[in-house]
Amino acid sequence: MERQAIFPPGRPRPTPPYSPGIRLGNLLFTAGAVGADTDGRVPEDIRAQTRNTFENLKAVLAAAGSGLDHVLKVTVYLTDIGDFDAMNEVYRSYFAGDLPARTTVAVAALARPELRIEIEMIAHIPS
């Protein structure tokens, strides 16, 4: 099985050395996505950052031929565990039916000081 890097069309390629997604067979592993919008702006509000993060991940999933309904596992990193309830409020709006397995971890910092959330996913790619 060959692995394939996934880059969402119409979005800038990351400057750091990583791929937004890696496909291996019918599995997709996303890199951690953050709350910056497509222009690189980061809102202060955790709800807005969570929405941006999900939209960024949806673009990676779509580029690989998958979607949120095929997500198996989610890992959420929060710089302030006090944001947990607000993040969950937005998180629930993106999933229906059986929810993916999930881990949420409080971390000291992310790549940029204004970032409050990072999410990575593992998803199935339907045939």
Tell me the CATH number at 67: 3.30.1330.40
Do residues 76 and 105 touch, judged by C-beta distance below 8 A?
Answer: yes
pTM above 0.85, yes or no: yes
18-52 pLDDT, tens digit each = 999 999 999 999 999 999 998 999 999 999 999 99
In a domain, 62, yes or no: yes
Q: Is 100 helix (H, G, I), strand (E, B) or coil?
A: coil
Amino acid identity of residue 104, one-letter, is: T
Query: Which residues does residue 78 pair with via DSSP β-bridges, in sequence order?
Result: 106, 117
Q: What is the pLDDT of residues 82-98, one digit of tens each?
A: 999 999 999 999 998 99
Give CA–CA dist 13/42, Å, rounded: 17
Burial of 58 (0-12, 13-18, 19+ CB in 10 A): middle
Note whether residue 117 is domain-resident: yes
List the domain range (segments joined by +) for residue 68: 34-124
- Is 12 a member of any domain? no
